[in-house]
């Protein structure tokens, strides 16, 4: 089968190639899925699991990508709850071969049913961005109606979902980003927008929840405006700055199919709009995963027409 593999950690995206790999076979409680579309997170180059397995041994020519939508094509021994031909979407285990391939083996417990009226491209864009936003807001940020949320990168793949979910649940959302992102952030539902290149975070006063996808100096400045009892949630690694009288949480997104069901239902009824940027075929994916300029939204690789 065709697959995109990582060959050189130092080269990052410049070190990937389209190669032929054996089709996977399902282990106990696994399924094999014929992948129709796969999302991709550029930060995957920074994840240790891309380059080593759980024992710390080098992963040779690992298949990248970890979110997808497709159709179940084989069932492993003992697998229950799924059937051949069923449409599914979800996240694969970080340490296993990924989803930028024609087939992927994945534990059945990590999959949710993809409704027939949701396109595979849309389904593939949802798992990591959607679950990251959901878990950051509700599990770790403990969002409540009436709170003020500072959503960094509000026009991005994750930030746009953060903005929409926070507004749905009654929050006042201040989106941030570059000046060129202003209209997109407002279109996704931000009540107001702050240009990180020119506006001062200190002018905001206080916020109850910061959702940080940037880190560094932006995170440090954001921590100082968290109100007493508030929370700074980070998805960019260990928190470098903590609120003076609040919580700081960093987390890695988990596969929770029940949350995926909540997310995809919001797409179906129009409450949630995923931000999909480029959609390219698997054969043409290498340049799309190593773009010469900044891409807006989620890049989705169409594996099958």
What local confidence, expressed as pLDDT, does residue 19 receive? 94
Percent of the chain exceeding pLDDT 70 equals 99
pLDDT at 292: 64
Q: What is the spatial distance between Cα 124 and Cα 52, in angstroms, rounded to a whole number?
A: 25
Domain count for the chain, please give it.
Answer: 2
Which residues face 248 on adjacent strands? 232
Measured between alpha carbons, how far is 89 from 35 in angstroms, rounded to an integer?
A: 9
Among residues 250, 266, 290, the one where a domain terminates is 250
Alpha helices in the chain (DSSP H): 120-125, 127-134, 157-168, 182-187, 216-223, 257-268, 285-289
Q: Say if strands 103-107 and 87-91 run parallel, antiparallel, or are unpaired.
A: unpaired
CATH number of the domain where residue 169 is located: 3.40.50.720
pLDDT at position 237, please?
A: 86
Question: Residues 231, 185: one domain?
Answer: yes
Token pair, residue 199, equals 């506006």
Residue 227, pLDDT score = 96
Helix (H, G, I), strand (E, B) or coil at 274: coil
* Boundary-marking domain end, from 225, 250, 275: 250
Q: Residue 49 in contact with residue 4, Cβ under 8 Å?
A: no
Question: Reduced to 3 states, what is the DSSP secondary structure of residue 13?
Answer: helix
Within a domain: residue 59? yes
First-to-last C-alpha distance (Å) of the chain:
16
Model confidence at 80, pLDDT cuts 50, 70, 90, reads: very high
Range 266-291 average pLDDT: 92
> Rounded CA gap, 200 and 179, in Å?
13
- Tell whether 158 is covered by a domain: yes
- pLDDT tens-digit map of 102-136: 999 999 999 999 999 999 999 999 999 999 999 99
* Same-domain status, 230 and 279: no
Instruction: For residue 135, tell me if it sits in a domain.
Output: no
Final residue in a domain of this structure, among 207, 225, 250: 250
Cα–Cα distance measured from residue 264 to residue 116, given in angstroms and rounded to the nearest whole number: 11
- CA–CA gap between residue 178 and residue 213 (Å, rounded): 14
Q: How far apart are CA 63 and CA 54, in angstroms?
A: 16
Q: Alpha carbon of 106 to those of 2, 37, 117, 299: distances in Å?
A: 17, 15, 23, 22
Domain that holds residue 228: 141-250
- pLDDT tens-place string over residues 34-45: 999 999 888 777
- The three-state secondary structure class of 51 is coil
Sheet holding 172-177, edge to edge: 192-195, 172-177, 148-151, 207-212, 226-234, 247-250
Domain contains 27: yes
pLDDT in tens, 169-228: 999 999 999 999 999 999 999 999 999 988 888 888 899 999 999 999 999 999 999 999
């Amino acid at each position: 089968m065709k697959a995109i593999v990582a060959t050189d950690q130092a080269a990052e995206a410049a070190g990937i190639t389209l190669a032929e790999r054996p089709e996977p076979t399902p282990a106990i409680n696994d399924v094999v899925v014929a992948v129709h579309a796969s999302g991709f997170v550029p930060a995957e180059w920074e994840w240790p699991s891309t380059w080593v397995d759980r024992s710390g041994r080098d992963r040779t020519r690992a298949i990248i990508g970890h979110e997808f939508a497709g159709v179940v094509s084989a069932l492993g021994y003992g697998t229950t709850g799924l059937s051949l031909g069923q449409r599914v979407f979800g996240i694969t285990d970080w340490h296993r071969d990924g989803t930028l391939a024609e087939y992927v083996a994945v534990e059945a417990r990590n999959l949710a049913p993809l409704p027939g009226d949701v396109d595979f491209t849309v389904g593939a864009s949802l798992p990591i961005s959607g679950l990251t936003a959901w878990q950051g807001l509700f599990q770790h940020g403990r969002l409540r109606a009436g709170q003020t949320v500072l959503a960094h990168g509000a026009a991005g793949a994750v930030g746009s979902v953060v903005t929409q979910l926070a507004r749905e649940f009654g929050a006042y959302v201040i989106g941030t980003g570059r000046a060129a992102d202003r209209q997109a952030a407002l279109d996704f539902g931000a009540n107001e927008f702050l240009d990180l290149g020119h506006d001062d975070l200190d002018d905001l006063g206080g916020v109850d929840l910061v959702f940080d996808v940037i880190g560094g100096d932006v995170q440090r400045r954001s921590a100082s405006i968290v109100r007493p009892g508030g929370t700074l949630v980070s998805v960019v690694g260990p928190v470098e700055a903590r609120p003076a009288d609040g919580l700081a949480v960093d987390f890695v997104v988990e596969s929770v199919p029940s949350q995926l069901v909540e997310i995809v239902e919001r797409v179906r009824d129009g409450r949630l709009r995923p931000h999909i940027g480029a959609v390219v075929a698997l054969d043409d994916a290498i340049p799309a995963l190593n773009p010469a300029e900044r891409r807006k939204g989620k890049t989705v690789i169409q594996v099958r027409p």
